[in-house]
Amino acid sequence: MLSKKWAWFALIVFVGSILLSACEGETVEVEVTTVVKETVIEKETVIEKETVIEKETVIEKETVIEKETVIEVVEVTPVVEEDPTTLPRDETMYFNGLQWGSVSCWNPYSQNCNNAMAIVQGANARVPMFESPYLYNMLDGQQYPLLADGPYEWNDAHTEITFKLKAAAKWSDGTPVTAEDVAYTWASHVKYNTGVGSGNAAYIDAIEAVDDLTVVIKAKLNDEGQAVNPLIVGSYASSNYVLQKAWTQALEERTGEDATEFMADTAEDVVYSGPYHQFFADDQKVVLVRDDNYWGQDASMWGELPTPKYLAHTIFKDNVAGSIALAQGEVDVSQQFNSDIQVLWLNYGLPVSTYLPEAPYGIGASLPTAFYNLNSNGLDQVAVRKAIAMAVDYPTIIANAMTNQSATFDQVPRSLMNPTPGEQAMYDHDAVADLQWAGNDIEGAKALLDAAGIVDSDGDGWREYNGEKLSYIATCPNGWSDWQAAIEVVAAAGKEIGIDITTNFPEWAVYQTIVTKSDAPLPEGYDIFMMWSNGAGPTEPWGRIRNMLSSEWVGMASNWNGNWGQYSNPDVDALIQAIPNESDPDALKEIYTELVRIYLSDIPSFTLMYRPDLFHAVNESVWTNFPHQDDGTDPPVPPMVCVDGWSIACLYNVTLVSQ
């Protein structure tokens, strides 16, 4: 019968396809190695010599040590652990929200690997596989030594940093981590003009190895003999990896020292110093496995191995799938924006929790900001800029767009600093209190516009400036849901005060190309646009302020740093320049306060909400003892999904729930 044949055919096709798709099966080869063992046998022979000298017998004892080397050839069959086909649940920690596509490569020199579990350098470097000398802790602002031994020290002239490396630090191939590795890594970054190299070349002159374990970072000096930017120099060691010189040289050889090839190499054979390395990667998941020979179990560092044997990250198509998995316990640590996450434990009683038990649930660290295109009609007027910024309903943005995962502007009045206590203490609140508007002030905004003479003269319901109706397009990339919701609220505010603001959401690929082109005025359609700011880091808040306000980015063809609205104020530039070399805390506070004052008066952009650097939610159905507020750890472990900066200490603290 026709249907039967079809059914068999379908069945065969089905089964065959599944078998074929499982083609990535690994065959485990058992290698029998021969080990040459040298045994040295020492034989001590004592020879007594009797000599008769003038009727006295002198006995001389001579000890002769004979060494015999016995060479044994022994066959060692290593105990082969069969690669498991199922990752044991009680030895694996699952992540989500970091990796959104398949891994392209394992090359730490490349910016393009899309390898979120292993290669992320920056203020909070990700250290499961590759390690930096120091780890930054966003909770207390300190840098803790990892590969380094003890804190780093500036010289008296404040132009050089010296630090030592731990003697116990080793690469995965057993060779020790030396200062030469650090120096060679930097030299390679510069030579091949990698992202790290070009980003730091203006501030770091050289990195040298004084001896095997001592590293000196020499800052670039300005005309007065001062370091151009000691802040950045001081943050280098906690932001960038140390890579093995020997491996780098091998890479250089096989790519013929060509920069493009060098950075495009997939580097499957990379040598690492961290506790985890690649185990499996395909379209569906990335798995890192622990190296039980990790040097960090030495008493000089952690004293033990990290608890989970496998770190696995399932690649989900979108946030929703990831949230479902979190709710079902298939994900332990979640870095995505889980909207209304409190519903999971309030309504469903699931063992899900965040760092803080109540709103804002996490530690805000960055300031997503709405930038003004200062060349648009009317946006060159402070009154218009301030009116729009005042009229926006921020409580609604925070409640609806961020589902309360942000501090409100009543709790943390707006400034240039993030909500962490460290940064909040760096400016004088009282001095700028009258400039810190709370938002949702429709009447105040209208009054401001009326006072500036920007009124509706032709009765169409919209105000005009210079004869032209005030009409703007507020925009952010399509698909970034919390930003889109926020922009909608901004647009709604415009209607209340008589300014026509509509929204538009171009694709990210288009948006970024336009916004980052700072060598020409922004085109139409980008009057009010949203972009991110720096989060927490050793150079903050200076780095964030520089990126938001400095005019050094204006004129760049590919500007990924900031100030996309192309604001230019020489006073601001001067203040920003002054900070890195200023060491007096009072003077610093004055400078920062002045910057906040200028920012809140000129309003080239305005903050829409506070956002954590990384979201951090955990499901405690398998693992427990994750970082949470008042968990008693000292130094406090930050909620950076257990892999960034000092947060990696979490991997050593977690335990299984059943214990």
Partner 1 sequence: MKHTLQQVFRSGKFVVGFSIFVAILLIVIIYPLIITDSPLEIIAQGTFFPPGIYVNAYDSIDSATHYTLKLDDAAAKRIASKLNEDDRLAMQEWLVASGIPENEIDTADTPKLLDQWENNFDPKKKIDGMTNAKRNYYIRLDASVDGILSTEGAIIAAKNPDTGALEEKGIIEQSDYVNVREVPNIRVLLLGTDNFGRDVLTELVSATGVSLQIGFVAGIVATLIGLTLGLLAGYVGGLVDDATMFVANLFTVIPSFVLLVLISFSIGQEKRGATTIAVVIGLTSWVWTARAVRSQVLSLRHRDHVNLSKLSGHSIVHIILTDILPYIASYVVMALILQISSGILTEAGLSILGLGPKTTEVPTLGLMMNWAMIYQSHILGKWWALFPVIFTIALISFSLNLMNTGLDQVFNPTIRD
Partner 2 sequence: MKGYRKYFLNKLGWFSVTLVAAFLLNFILPRLMPGDPVAAIVARLAQGMSDATGVQAIYQQYSDLFGTNKPMHEQFFLYVRNVARGDFGFSFSQYPRTVADVIASSIWWTLILQLPAILVGWLIGNFLGALAAYRKGIFDKILMPFSIFASGLPAFGMAIVLLVVLGVNLGWFPTSGGYGFDMIPNRSWDFLWSAFVHYQLPFWSIVLIIIGGQAIGMRSMAIYELNADYVKYARFMGIKDRKILRYVFRNAMLPQITGLALSIGTMVGGALVAETIFSYPGLGSTILTAVKGGDYPLISATALIITLMVLITTFIIEMLYGFIDPRIKAAQSED
* Region 621-640 residues binding partner 1, contact defined as CB under 8 A: 624-626, 628, 631
Closer of 264 and 656 to partner 1 (Cβ): 656
Within 113-142, the residues that bind partner 2 by CB under 8 A are 114
Q: Residue count of the chain, please give it.
A: 659
CB 397 → partner 1: shortest distance, Å? 10
For residue 32, the one-letter residue type is V
CA distances to 49, 426, 543 from 540, in Å:
79, 10, 5
Least separation in angstroms between residue 267's CB and partner 2 is 11
Residue 305 binding: pick among partner 1, partner 2, none (C-beta 5-8 Å cut-off by kind):
none
Find the binder of partner 1 among 142, 504, 516, 577 (CB under 8 A).
504
Place of tokens 């203020």: 123
For residues 189 to 228, the per-residue mask of contacts with partner 2, x marking binding by CB under 8 A and - elsewhere, is ----x-xx-xx--x--------------------------
User: Is cis: bond before 541, omega within 30 of 0?
Assistant: yes
Strand (E) or helix (H) holding 238:
helix 230-239
Quote the distance between the C-alpha of residue 467 and its chain's center: 48
Q: Are 501 and 473 in contact (CB under 8 A)?
A: yes
Per CB under 8 A, which of residues 367..396 are in contact with partner 2?
none
- C-alpha triplet 276, 210, 148: angle, nearest 5°: 30
Q: Are 398 and 438 in contact (CB under 8 A)?
A: no
Between 276 and 511, name the residue whose CB sits nearer to partner 1: 511
Q: Which is nearer to partner 1, 193 or 655 (CB)?
A: 655
Distance (Å, whole) CA 445 – CA 463: 13
> How far apart, in whole angstroms, are the C-alpha atoms of residue 292 and residue 74?
24
Task: Using CB under 8 A, pick the residue from 8, 13, 461, 532 that binds partner 2.
Answer: 13
- Please give the backbone phi and psi of residue 289, each rounded to the nearest 5 degrees, phi first: -120, 150
Site for partner 1 contains 505 (CB under 8 A): yes
3 touches partner 2 (CB under 8 A):
yes
* 8-state DSSP, 647: G
Residue 621 in contact with partner 2, rule: CB under 8 A: no
- Residues 201, 247 contacting (CB under 8 angstroms): no
For the bound state, the minimum distance from the C-beta of residue 339 to partner 1, rounded and expressed in Å, comes to 5
First to last CA, the chain: 60
Q: Looking at residues 419 to 478 of the shown chain, list those that interact with partner 1 (rule: CB under 8 A).
A: 473, 478
Q: What secondary structure does DSSP assign to 554-605, as a single string?
A: TT-SS--SS-TT----HHHHHHHHHGGG---HHHHHHHHHHHHHHHHHH-SE
Q: Which of residues 333-362 bind partner 1 (CB under 8 A)?
A: 338-340, 343-345, 347-353, 357
Binding partner of residue 343 among partner 1, partner 2, none, CB cut-off 5 to 8 Å per kind:
partner 1
Which range, of 104-112, 317-325, 425-433, 563-571, touches partner 1 by CB under 8 A? 317-325
**Pick from partner 1, partner 2, none: which does 314 bind, CB < 5 to 8 A by kind?**
partner 2
Binding site for partner 1 (CB under 8 A): 319-320, 323-324, 327, 338-340, 343-345, 347-353, 357, 393, 395-396, 399-400, 403-404, 473, 478-479, 481, 484-485, 488-489, 491-492, 502-507, 510, 525, 618, 620, 624-626, 628, 631, 657-659
